[in-house]
Amino acid sequence: MLNYLITGISLGSIYAIIALGYTMVYGIAKMLNFAHGDVIMVGGYMCFCATTYMNWPVPVGILLAMGVCTVLGIVIERLAYKPLRSAPSLAVLITAIGVSYFLQNAALLIWTSNPKSFSPIVGRGAVQLGELQITHVTLVTIGACFVIMVALTLFTSRTKLGTAMRAVSEDKGAAQLMGINVNTTISTAFAIGSALAAVAGVLLCSAYPMLVPTTGSMPGIKAFTAAVFGGIGSIPGAMLGGILLGIIETFCRAYISMELSDGIVFGVLILVLLVKPAGLLGKQTREKV
């Protein structure tokens, strides 16, 4: 029971990290970035290549993954999304789907569809606490998630760039009039989101050591669900949503049915949104008549 809870929190932490990235991007660019999940996959492969082919140490692999994904995020935003900033949101959505196809198929060409088995970033050992057994990977995952959340909260509330980001997400036009460089802020959001995706990718592949070009897409969708669940645009919301989602999913897998777990997770999302249409910690807005 307690073991399942720990597994759930660990899985949830990964969702939370991805959801944090999603929330940053959605809050600012107001777009469903379907390619976000595939950036996770790229991060996973980068770290895999660095540690397996080049035999570099793990921290270097993680940094490489973060670096590559950050650049990738900025490039995607500049090339594919920026020209569409005033276009209808559906056009941006389809472009994001195009980017997602692109990344998946590029990965398919480079790394083929054979699954790569990922060597965990930390030893396979575990800490024993009475009945409870916590693997090192779990500890690192939960710790990383916590550190990232605190850092992001500080960043958005204490730094100048963070304040600018909040301003842009409230009102792009007004922010621009106040002398905020909207393009830089949006790029920053993509950079941070993608770097987080890279971290999530490495952690995801450590916990579930199988890597294929479509690895990122389902966790990406679920993390987005988590972000919506918690209230999109809200950092603590993404964290809460991610962890709750992970716990629900783990318990469903354990006690109800492996096959049905995804269905139940999505069912809970629908229920939450019906009761609280803006998510658990989201702000409700109303159309003025």
- Residue with Cβ nearer other proteins (102 or 208): 102
- Residue with Cβ nearer other proteins (177 or 258): 258
Query: Which one of 4-12, 81-89, 166-174, 179-187 is the stretch in contact with other proteins (CB under 8 A)?
Result: 81-89
Q: How far is the CB of 289 from other proteins (least distance, A)?
A: 5
Taking CB under 8 A as the rule, does residue 178 contact other proteins? no
Q: How far is the CB of 214 from other proteins (least distance, A)?
A: 9
Q: How many helices (H) and strands (E) does the chain have?
A: 11, 2
Q: Are 218 and 245 in contact (CB under 8 A)?
A: no
Query: Which one of 93-101, 132-140, 151-159, 197-205 is the stretch in contact with other proteins (CB under 8 A)?
Result: 93-101
Taking CB under 8 A as the rule, does residue 259 contact other proteins? yes
Q: How far is the CB of 31 from other proteins (least distance, A)?
A: 9
Tokens of 215: 């690895």
Residue 116: strand pairing partners: 211
- Residue with Cβ nearer other proteins (157 or 214): 214
Q: Residues with Cβ < 8 Å from 91, sequence gap 6 or more? A: 84
3-state helix, strand, coil in the chain (%, to 5): 75, 5, 25
Taking CB under 8 A as the rule, does residue 261 contact other proteins? yes
Radius of gyration of the chain from Cα atoms? 19
Q: Are 168 and 183 in contact (CB under 8 A)?
A: no
Taking CB under 8 A as the rule, does residue 260 contact other proteins? yes
Instruction: Describe the crossing of helices 2-29 and 36-48 by its angle, rounded to 10 degrees.
Output: 120
Applying CB under 8 A, the site for other proteins has a residue count of 46
Closest CA to 23 of 276, 263, 280: 280
Cα–Cα dist 55/216, whole Å: 24
Residue 211: strand pairing partners: 116
Query: Which one of 43-51, 130-138, 200-208, 270-278 is the stretch in contact with other proteins (CB under 8 A)?
Result: 270-278
Question: Which residues of the shown chain bind other proteins in the complex (CB under 8 A)?
Answer: 26, 32, 34, 80, 83-84, 87-91, 93-95, 97-99, 101-102, 105-106, 108-109, 217, 221, 224-225, 228, 232, 256-257, 259-264, 266-267, 269-270, 273-274, 277, 287, 289
